[in-house]
Amino acid sequence: MKPRTGIGFDAHPLAEGRPMVVGGVDVPFDRGPLGHSDGDVLIHAVIDALLGAAGLGDIGTHFPPGDESLRGAASTDLLRAAVRLLKGRGWQITYVDATVILERPVLKPFIGRIAQSIANCLDLDRGLVNVKATTTDGLGFTGRGEGVSALAAATVEAAECGTRPERAAAAPLRSS
């Protein structure tokens, strides 16, 4: 089976009193993403990219924002659950490329740790996860410092165990 690629996107407003979590790494800042879980937009975009590549729906299907058991959940735990789903359906993750979009804080000193954190969750070598950060040069909600967003692309292929990936419709990982 040929490789398949999915894309993911997420955005959250920034709020005082919330930790700034990016790719599973705590980044010192006076505000953080507001979300039902820890609001980690980078991880959420990666999850959506993975699920999309495997044809398994989206993050809201598997981790509904109204699910109280997920309130404050670490997005890295959600990513690991998504990885288990893909592997269980016969998919192997081969590469992830992602971009965080925000004006502040500057993420350059944290990019290596962020990429390693994601690679660890995906059970991939660090060289198979690329993370970048950019700004919008003051434009839009990210430029005004009101929020943070992220884009991700993920490539998957059939695992080499001789089985074909399931083509079942996207069913939630969890039942509410």
CA atoms within a 13 Å half-sphere pointing along the CA-CB vector of 149: 13
Q: Specify the 3-state DSSP secondary structure of 97.
A: strand
Give every CB contact of residue 140 below 8 A, 6+ residues apart in sequence: none
Question: What's the pLDDT score for residue 137?
Answer: 96
pLDDT of residue 169: 46
Longest dimension (CA), the chain: 50
d(CA 96, CA 115): 10
Say if residues 100 and 24 touch (Cβ distance below 8 Å).
no
Predicted local confidence at residue 168, as pLDDT: 46
C-alpha distances out from residue 46 to 1, 16, 21, 23, 36, Å: 22, 25, 14, 9, 17
- Provide the pLDDT for residue 33: 96
**pLDDT for res 67:** 84
The per-residue pLDDT for 175 is: 39
* Domain 4-158 grouped into CATH 3.90.1140.10: no
User: 109-127 b/e with 16+ CB inside 10 Å = b?
Assistant: ebbebbbbbbbebbebeee
What is the full per-residue pLDDT of the chain (176 aa) written as tens digits? 799 999 999 999 999 999 999 999 999 999 999 988 999 999 999 999 999 999 999 999 999 888 888 888 899 999 999 999 999 999 999 999 999 999 999 999 999 999 999 999 999 999 999 999 999 999 999 999 999 999 999 999 998 755 556 554 444 555 33
Query: Taking the chain, what is the end-to-end CA distance rounded to the nearest angstrom?
Result: 34
Q: State the amino acid at position 66 in one-letter form.
A: G
CA–CA separation, 111 vs 100, rounded Å?
10
> Model pTM?
0.90
Specify the pLDDT at position 164: 56
> What's the rounded Cα separation, in Å, for the pair 116 and 131?
9
Distances (CA, A) of 166 to 54, 89, 136: 9, 5, 40
